[in-house]
Amino acid sequence: MRIKLVHHKYDIVIVGAGGAGLMAALRARQNGFSVAVLSKVHPTKSHTVAAQGGINAALGNIEPDDWQWHMYDTIKGSDWLADQDAVEYMCKNAAESVLNLAELGVAFSRTSDGKLYQRLYGGQSTEFGKGKLAYRACASSDQTGNAIITTLYNKTKDIKADFFSYHFVYDLILKDNQCIGVASWSVENGNIHIFSANQVIIATGGYGQIYSTTTAANICTGDGNALCAMAGIPLQDMEFVQFHPTALPKTGILISEAARAEGAHLVNALGERFMSKYSPQFQDLACRDVVARAIATEIAEGRGVENNHVWLCLKHLSKSLIKERLPNLFENTKEFLKLDPSKDLIPVAPAAHYTMGGIPTNIHGVVVPGLMAIGEAACVSVHGANRLGCNSLLDIIVFAESAIKYCSENIAPGQKKQDIDYDIFKIEDLLNKNGEFNPQDIKIELQLIMQENVGMFRTKKNLESSLKKLQDIINKQFIISDKSLIWNSELLEALETKNLAIQALITCYAALKREESRGAHFRVDFPVRDDENWLKHSLVYMDQDFNLTYKTKAVQFTPLTVDSIKLEERKY
């Protein structure tokens, strides 16, 4: 088979076309850079569209608020593993970023006097945790991610960023510890494209598909993380995976936290509102890891319904309010359950939702010279051991803008790019191998291992057993009977499954190493937080033979301009 090689040169190449990638592309074009946006799906199908509840900013449109209160809540939510300089940067810039989105045309919900509507959200308070719950989440009903991505895509297309959809980036091209480009496979026409760039920005999202029950779409295979791991770049804090408290059982279909923000509450099989036992102050709006473990505990102790869920009650809310503020929830419960949330209890259970770990960066997104990472693929770290609800959309906007600001200060539009002499053996080698295993079967096996043993509750015995199984999986060779490169779904699934295997192995290894419980990482055999030994980030390196090396680095406790948020017991 003859493979056609196509060469390109751009100032900035962005891998991923979700909210982070599109915001970076928009700002890069506005700064005069030539921009290529590579995505394995059409941009409007990126996973950002699934973000429902809102985007945080201390605007104070409903009740008084302050960005430093937001900063405190974010660090407390992270169980003190977030870097405080990065958290300050994000929270301090939140208001400007959200107002900029509104100016771009994002259709935020509004109050009667025309201000951006803001709702309560889990783990958010006033007066540094001593006051009332905070109205901080700006929302477009419960379709906020879709509103943002639609606006950004249209704006970016209008100012002529070049989009390469249905491109799977399978190789980072590095020279002398500097990234000079990427190689992508055009699934649509079978060509291999070589992109030479002054700056490559990874914005490929998370790796939630390592679990069998997840709110993450099928495309969430963490391809950028795996690229970096195989290039010798460590991945940081991969043991921290957030389980969303409320998804439809076994399906992973998300029931947004916005429901509880609008007044819904959880009840067990006995009809008890149980969250006051686990969170006396915040109750149903405690941080996600607290609520998810509470639900799992109720089920494990026999107070669940059918031993696999609890109920979410919205029956005290009017149908008109639900349809206005929670249209996704209304349609999903009607479509998938044939239920009316204004009349019926909704079954919910935790599902893997967000991956706090990823490619380590500074607040400008820099990984190594020529390479940046932003969004869920990156670990800045503003989320630490557990992400505060509605900080994910904020993260992608603020740090995308920060990355392009850094680019504008360090490279010039039209600056000379390096010529790349590229060997296409990596794709040819994969197509020509005679494997024995079906990628789909391996993916299912991997997901079940992670779901059962590296989920919300972890033990040394289960982690060690899972690690051995994952080490076996990662060395398996896949059957690829289709030897073409045009819409080769077998090859695509093989590449994605290999990427998932890399991240599952690293996640399990990091979880085994961290002998404490912090945020979303709960070790049954080490059930308390251990600040003396484990107040530090994990770094896992992988070599070409999938051997792992574990290191740590200090958490940044010094903010940019304000006083540090001191360690305290994390209570809600």
Residues with catalytic roles? 288
Q: Which amino acid is at 138?
A: C
The encoded tokens of residue 559 equal 């903010």
As a residue count, the chain comes to: 572
Q: Tokens 């049954």 identify what position?
A: 524
DSSP code string of 235-263: EESTT-EEEEEEE-TTT--B--THHHHTT
Cβ neighbour number for residue 110 with a 10 Å cutoff? 14
* Residues 355/281, Cβ–Cβ less than 8 Å: no
Helix (H) or strand (E) holding 157: helix 144-158
CB contact burial 535-546 (16+ within 10 A = b; e otherwise): bebbbbebeeeb
Backbone angles phi, psi at 538, to 5 degrees: -95, 145
Q: Tokens 């900063």 identify what position?
A: 71
The contacts of residue 5 (CB under 8 Å, 6+ apart) are 191, 192, 193, 194, 422, 424
CA distances from 30 to 13, 203, 401 (A): 15, 19, 11
Helix (H) or strand (E) holding 156: helix 144-158
Three-class SS string for 465-486? HHHHHHHHHHCCCECCCCCCCC
What is the rounded CA–CA span in Å between residue 528 and residue 550? Answer: 22
CA distances from 321 to 107, 264, 265, 315, 327 (A): 18, 12, 15, 11, 9
What is the rounded CA–CA span in Å between residue 47 and residue 50? Answer: 6
What is the rounded CA–CA span in Å between residue 554 and residue 108? Answer: 38
Q: Are strands 162-165 and 35-39 parallel, antiparallel or unpaired?
A: parallel
* Residues 134/65, Cβ–Cβ less than 8 Å: yes
DSSP code string of 78-131: TTT-S-HHHHHHHHHHHHHHHHHHHHHT----B-TTSSBPEEEEEEEESTTTTS
Secondary structure of residue 203 in the 3-state scheme: coil
Residue 550 exposed, middle or buried by CB count within 10 Å (0-12, 13-18, 19+): middle
* Residues 451/458, Cβ–Cβ less than 8 Å: no
Distance of CA 195 to the CA centre of its chain: 26
* Residues 145/19, Cβ–Cβ less than 8 Å: yes
